[in-house]
Structure 1
Amino acid sequence: MRPPHAPPARPASDNGRVEDRFGEALARAARGGDDDVDAAASVLAADADWDAAAARAAERTVADCERRGWEPQDLLRMAGRELTPLHRRLAGALAGEGTGDGTGLGAFARAERLDRFSAAAAYVELLRLYVRLPAIPALVAAPPGESAAPPKMLARIRALLAKAESTGYPDEAEALSAKAQHLMARHSIDAALLAASHDGVSGAGAGARRIGVERPYEGAKALLLDAVAAANRCQSVWSSELGFSTVVGHAPDLDAVELLYTSLLVQADRALHRGRTSRSRDFRESFLIAYASRIRTRLGEATAEEESAAPPDLLPALASRALAVEDTTRRLFPTTTTSRLRARDASGWEHGESAADSAHLH
């Protein structure tokens, strides 16, 4: 059991040696177990200037994570995924999310009503998670000339999807989601044509974005994200052990994928819990797999409708962008494997297809 109170603080003149000892203890905690975490927490809590020591250690650890491909939002997501809500709040405080009572570990401890040792222990557990994260591909930024969706269009799309998520009428949700997808597809086509008219090459570089795939039923949710990505001319690679997919595409298409995937998850969850409240795990997973499969078909149809109404020079422009997406994906992920999911509940599959028909798209 951890002691309820922190050990007495050492004199400020000993801070340098305490910080060295904390660095060594933190390294042992990264390799060891709970006893090593407690030892490192005790060293930190004993430091008279523990805020400064904690800030410097966090800065070094986060910088090392960034060199290994992790971005700040990735670290926040991993804290919430692998640890507790307390650790997620601490990660946010270290990243600059205010606690309302100043900054630093001390302010976090006061806001959470933690003694020094308990706050230091949570801090060490968080940094241990960060240190243990594997190297991942660094994200590729979209080229400077790439055009994201205008703020007014994004606001309109978000409003349409919000209405689709909140309505209790399937036909209305379908119409609203369809309209949002058509708007996104139309802007993507306009962006491709505009880029091609400027320099003759509309696919001169694709970007990448990591999107969280949360528990439970991560496989089925990754399948849904892949369906949305494919319909919006992107490629999705799922990192199952890390809880996210990396989506590669051009800026307007990445915006579309993130917006639409989030909305479809909300709609799927509402449809899954409508009526009967008791569902087996096989039912829920089969529901989501079928939902993703049908959404893939219907989204593809909606995108094809917009493409069919576009001018003749669209095809070369889209081909150029598709090649850029393919090249970037291969560069980030030289080796990938295919993951197959199996639906085990016929009733869940039937309900999932029906929900996808209601959620989307002409």
Structure 2
Amino acid sequence: MGKSNREKRMAKQRRRRRSAAQHEHRRSNSEPNPSDSERGRAQILENLIIALSAAAVGSAPWRVAELLEQHRGFERELDIAADLVVQEAIDAAWQNGWSPTDLHEVARRRVNAAAVRYLDEAIVLESQRYSAPTLHPRWRAELAAITTRTAPTAPQMWRWAARNSVDERAVVTVVLEVLHLLVTIPPLQRVLPLPGEHRHVSGAGTEVDEKMLARVRALLAKAEATEYPDEAEALSSKAQALMVRHSLKEAVADHGKGRASVAAARRIWVDNPYVAAKVALVQAVAQANRCRAVWIKNLGCVVAVGSETDLDMFDLLTTSLLVQANRAILVAGRLHGVRGQTRTKSFRLAFLVAYAARIGERLAAASSSATAEMQRDERLLPVLAARTRAADEAFARLFPTAVGTPLVAYDPVGTDAGRAAADTAVLYVRDAIAS
């Protein structure tokens, strides 16, 4: 964030704090015969906002007992102050490129479960400031994914404590933990319009076919759930047929309507263990779907760049193949138990690296085969080239310093097992690929 943007954000925060303090001051003065204590509540509120902010970023951020003791009798003001500071921090995260799913995922990795729940509710509360049409469809989908069972209401802190049966010290600790997370996460490249700034423009571009995606998701869920490989292959083949047909026809239709190829970006969060090997699998799927991908190592996520439709295909296939890879490595551990080899880190790493490499080969072959079937339309290849070029240009703009780093594993048993498992993995393609 540049100096100008930081100054604007700081000014906005100061205006919010003054507004909250003034509101409390007006409330106190509207009561008959307000006491000196009541007239001072606005100042108490402002002091609390400053104290909470300082406690979250200081060298000793968990000064819970001090906060509670110094402001005994001003619990309502503490509740309001906590809301204001958390909402400001969430808004700053949006400005710095984070989205609801991003905040949820980084919280899962860095704070305890209680703080994750509190943050999720705070995100939902913050989103209520915007009308639904001004939120990007994927932003709304991310909010829906983290929405809690009970609709949160402001102010949040004491209500949250009552619902979760925790005392005042515990809930203030949770608030400070959430704040500490929010003020220490780094800025990210923005991949979605800010909340309140999305504007739907009719005819500006092809909308993702939600009905088609729903059918695909249902087919893939059945393919992953069945114990019969033939049934899984039939279900997944039908799913891929829908996906490929939609993507290629959409590309040609956009070209016919004079629409330029536009690239978007999406983040995929990858869990431990063996993140580097799993990232190699994610990148293989991205490349096969005409997307570019980069791993943000210190956060544990991959950013993929491509058309919205190709990103949808990438997202669905990545999720499924990560599930299949985890299942395959467990099976390989049972089948190749020679002197405990499969219980070593080197075996598992080699397995996943080889699995990713072989999946990449199969996906590349599958992509070429599916594209060749539609080459009767002479517009197809130039259109796909334009999509690839748009993705490359957007990637270079977002990540100008990204460099490739090869991932090497040295366990031959794990390598052979990983390639063999990849040969039997269900790829959501229309035709089986020979190994």
- In the superposition, the TM-score normalised over structure 1's length comes to 0.88
Amino acid across the alignment from 2:401: T
Cα distance in 2 for residues equivalent to 1:106 and 1:122: 12
2:352 to 288, 312, 320: 288
Query: Is 1:80 matched up with 2:130?
Result: no
Contact residue 147 and residue 191 of structure 1 kept, 8 A: yes
Query: Is 1:124 matched up with 2:183?
Result: no
Cα distance in 1 for residues equivalent to 2:163 and 2:378: 60
Contact residue 109 and residue 115 of structure 1 kept, 8 A: yes
Q: Which residue of 2 aligns with 1:48?
A: 75
Query: Is 1:160 matched up with 2:219?
Result: yes
Q: How far is 1:241 from its partner?
A: 0.5
- The size of the alignment, in residue pairs, is 350
**Higher Rg of the two aligned structures:** 2
Q: Which of 94-103 and 240-249 deviates more?
A: 94-103
Q: Which residue of 2 aligns with 1:341?
A: 407
- Residues 322-337 of structure 1 mapped to structure 2, 5 A cutoff: 322-337=388-403
Seen in structure 2, the aligned counterparts of structure 1 residues 12 and 159 have a Cα distance that, compared at 3 Å, is farther
Q: Which residue of 2 aligns with 1:138?
A: 190
Q: How far is 1:194 from its partner?
A: 0.5
Contact residue 161 and residue 180 of structure 1 kept, 8 A: yes
Cα distance in 2 for residues equivalent to 1:296 and 1:147: 28
Q: How far is 1:181 from its partner?
A: 3.0
Amino acid across the alignment from 1:188: S
Cα distance in 2 for residues equivalent to 1:153 and 1:168: 25
Q: Which of 225-234 and 48-57 deviates more?
A: 48-57
Contact residue 212 and residue 244 of structure 1 kept, 8 A: yes
Amino acid across the alignment from 2:205: E
How much is the aligned-residue C-alpha RMSD, in angstroms?
Answer: 2.5
Seen in structure 2, the aligned counterparts of structure 1 residues 151 and 99 have a Cα distance that, compared at 3 Å, is closer
Q: Which residue of 2 aligns with 1:64?
A: 92
1:27-56 per-position Cα deviation (integer Å, ceiling 9, x unaligned): 433433445443675379844223322221
Tell me the secondary structure at the aligned position of residue 410 of structure 2.
coil
Q: How far is 1:122 from its partner?
A: 0.9
1:353 to 397, 413, 419: 419
Q: Which residue of 2 aligns with 1:177?
A: 236
Q: How far is 1:296 from its partner?
A: 0.9
Amino acid across the alignment from 2:274: Y
Contact residue 286 and residue 346 of structure 1 kept, 8 A: yes
Seen in structure 2, the aligned counterparts of structure 1 residues 179 and 230 have a Cα distance that, compared at 3 Å, is farther
Q: Which of 118-127 and 139-148 deviates more?
A: 139-148
Q: Which of 49-58 and 263-272 deviates more?
A: 49-58
Q: How far is 1:107 from its partner?
A: 2.2
Cα distance in 2 for residues equivalent to 1:248 and 1:55: 35
Seen in structure 2, the aligned counterparts of structure 1 residues 39 and 331 have a Cα distance that, compared at 3 Å, is farther
Amino acid across the alignment from 2:55: A
Seen in structure 2, the aligned counterparts of structure 1 residues 223 and 40 have a Cα distance that, compared at 3 Å, is farther
Larger relative contact order (Cα-Cα within 8 Å, sequence gap ≥ 6): 1
Gaps spanning 5+ residues in structure 1: where? 1-10
1:299 to 344, 363, 375: 363
Q: How far is 1:148 from its partner?
A: 4.4
- In the superposition, the TM-score normalised over structure 2's length comes to 0.74
Contact residue 238 and residue 246 of structure 1 kept, 8 A: yes
Gaps spanning 5+ residues in structure 2: where? 1-36, 125-146, 335-341, 428-432
Q: Which of 168-177 and 111-120 deviates more?
A: 168-177
- Residues 206-221 of structure 1 mapped to structure 2, 5 A cutoff: 206-221=263-278
Contact residue 90 and residue 123 of structure 2 kept, 8 A: no
1:38 to 34, 53, 64: 64
Cα distance in 1 for residues equivalent to 2:186 and 2:175: 20
Q: Which of 92-101 and 246-255 deviates more?
A: 92-101
Q: How far is 1:164 from its partner?
A: 2.2
Seen in structure 2, the aligned counterparts of structure 1 residues 110 and 26 have a Cα distance that, compared at 3 Å, is same
Q: Which residue of 1 aligns with 2:210?
A: 151
Identity fraction in percent: 37
Tell me the secondary structure at the aligned position of residue 238 of structure 1.
strand
Q: Which residue of 2 aligns with 1:188?
A: 247
Cα distance in 2 for residues equivalent to 1:13 and 1:80: 42
Seen in structure 2, the aligned counterparts of structure 1 residues 187 and 329 have a Cα distance that, compared at 3 Å, is same
Cα distance in 1 for residues equivalent to 2:279 and 2:105: 16
